[in-house]
Amino acid sequence: MTSTEQRTNDFRRLRRRNIFDPQVYDEELRHVFGESWLFVGHESEIPDVGDFVVRPMGDDEVIVCRSKGGDVRVMLNSCAHRGTQLCRTDSGSATNFRCMYHGWVYDTDGNLRGIRNRRLFPPEVDVSRHGLSTARVASYLGLVFATWSADVPEFSEWLGDMAFYLDAMLGRCSAGWEAVGEPLRWRTRCNWKLSVENFALDSLHLDTLHANPIKLGVFGTGDANPTSYTVVTAGGHGVTATKVPSTGEPVYPGYPPALVEDFGRHGSPAQQWFASNNVVCKGNLFPNFSFIELVHDTTGDPDAPPVAAFMLRMAQPVGPTETNIWMWILVPRDAEPRWKRLSQESLVRTLGVSGTFEPDDLANAVSVSTVNVGTRAGENDFLFLGGAHVQPQAEVEGFRLPGRVHVAPLNTEVLQRAFLREWAHRVPAMAGER
């Protein structure tokens, strides 16, 4: 083992069985998912009072609802009486939620409004004390997060330096963004961390695993040699912008001219630099909320220009080797309908479950999750050595960017190490590995 490869507690190596260990999984649910802000949806999915969607939070299920006051409420989807699943549909609009078992009725804020057969309950039973369990909620640029924990810091503190990068990407159009269509969902037989790692943190696999679609020109920005700017921020969050060389003004490939003009009116020069000239920009908020922006040329029509696309993704744990993937497609609200449609289609064709990229990624994550639950294989280490020699830079292209910025031809494995460090910090069973 060379000095670069020593066990240095910075997660250049990780014992493989730790990823799949059932005890680790149990502790993750309590200490990672139970003590984090978790993504539950986009505000545009529930525009009107009473609109709701049903979503997972860790291994619980919640109703995410637009309340009478206009804010978003997140409530446990379990009746306060004897726990029956209250809402049995994925989405809809409601004036109240009535439990099918004994008929207790809740309003869209989660307050108990009525007990059926009230005379059978003692008079002192106080309805105001038996509402649904409600989570803390934070909304940021249309993204809705929730947590059950009173100990998790306020969302802005949790987000920290990542606010700069989310603002750069999602705060740059005047009318905001909206989710188009229902979120796409599929189940895969891999560990959730491997799915986050593959989608949001790793770029080393692009020109190997995805060599064929890339050679066919699916990325619409040509062959210019890219440079990756990979940023690690506190809390296990991280983001990478992979850029083609630029000369002069910021360029936003794949967006219509009116939107490009609008982008130029938002953000600081450093944020505009970060958000522009990108082939791919992707990141992850710890633990499992990821986003990506990329530019595609998937129509097969030589006269159709490449189109940009923006996607949100969540790798939802179902078991140590079972994960549900959720995929939302975002478009600028005031883009032309035809452009929105092209952008949506381009993502379905690439990162959708039957797209040109996702099946290869899934096959790989399933392979790793299958081979390494073996007793012998589990004793080996995963290696995250890439970029261990790359020092963070205080300044990049004349800009001081928040967080620690690493510059390399493609993003290194620095994001993986930061993610795993945060994960291990929270999981008691990993105490010996920190």
Binding residues vs ligand FES (CB under 6 A)? 79, 81-82, 84, 99, 101-104
Q: Which is nearer to ligand FES, 114 or 305 (CB)?
A: 114
Q: Which is nearer to ligand FES, 117 or 354 (CB)?
A: 117
Q: Which is nearer to ligand FES, 88 or 389 (CB)?
A: 88
The radius of gyration of the chain's CA atoms, rounded to the nearest angstrom, is: 23
C-alpha distance across the termini of the chain, in Å? 19
Closest to 221 (Cα-Cα) out of 300, 301, 298, 295: 295
Length of the chain: 434
Q: How far is the CB of 264 from Fe ion (least distance, A)?
A: 31
> Should residue 361 be labelled a site residue for Fe ion when binding is judged by CB under 5 A?
yes
Partner interacting with residue 361 (select from ligand FES, Fe ion, none; CB below 5-8 Å by kind) = Fe ion
Report how many residues bind Fe ion under the rule CB under 5 A: 1
Closest to 378 (Cα-Cα) out of 9, 1, 20, 13: 20
Q: How far is the CB of 255 from Fe ion (least distance, A)?
A: 23
Q: How far is the CB of 210 from Fe ion (least distance, A)?
A: 6
The position carrying tokens 């309340």 is 67
Buried b or exposed e, range 225-261, using 16+ CB within 10 angstroms: ebbbbbbbbbbbbbbbbbbbeeeeebbbbbbbeebbe
Partner interacting with residue 420 (select from ligand FES, Fe ion, none; CB below 5-8 Å by kind) = none
Q: How far is the CB of 114 from Fe ion (least distance, A)?
A: 51
Q: How far is the CB of 117 from ligand FES (least distance, A)?
A: 10
Which positions ≥6 away from 246 have C-beta within 8 Å? 276, 277
**Other beta carbons less than 10 A from residue 108's beta carbon:** 22
Q: How far is the CB of 383 from ligand FES (least distance, A)?
A: 50
Q: Binding to Fe ion (CB under 5 A): which residues in 62-91?
A: none
Determine the Cα angle at 326 with ends 320 and 329, to 5°.
155
Residue nearest to Fe ion (CB): 361
Distance separating alpha carbons of residues 206 and 242, to the nearest angstrom: 12
Q: Which two tokens stand for residue 185?
A: 């969902």
Q: Which is nearer to ligand FES, 81 or 136 (CB)?
A: 81
| Per-residue binding letters, 309-348, with Fe ion (x by CB under 5 A) | ----------------------------------------
Q: Which two tokens stand for residue 176?
A: 């905001």
Q: Which stretch binds Fe ion (CB under 5 A): 158-166, 291-299, 329-337, 355-363?
A: 355-363
Q: Which stretch binds Fe ion (CB under 5 A): 63-71, 121-129, 312-320, 358-366?
A: 358-366
* Residues in touch with Fe ion (CB under 5 A): 361
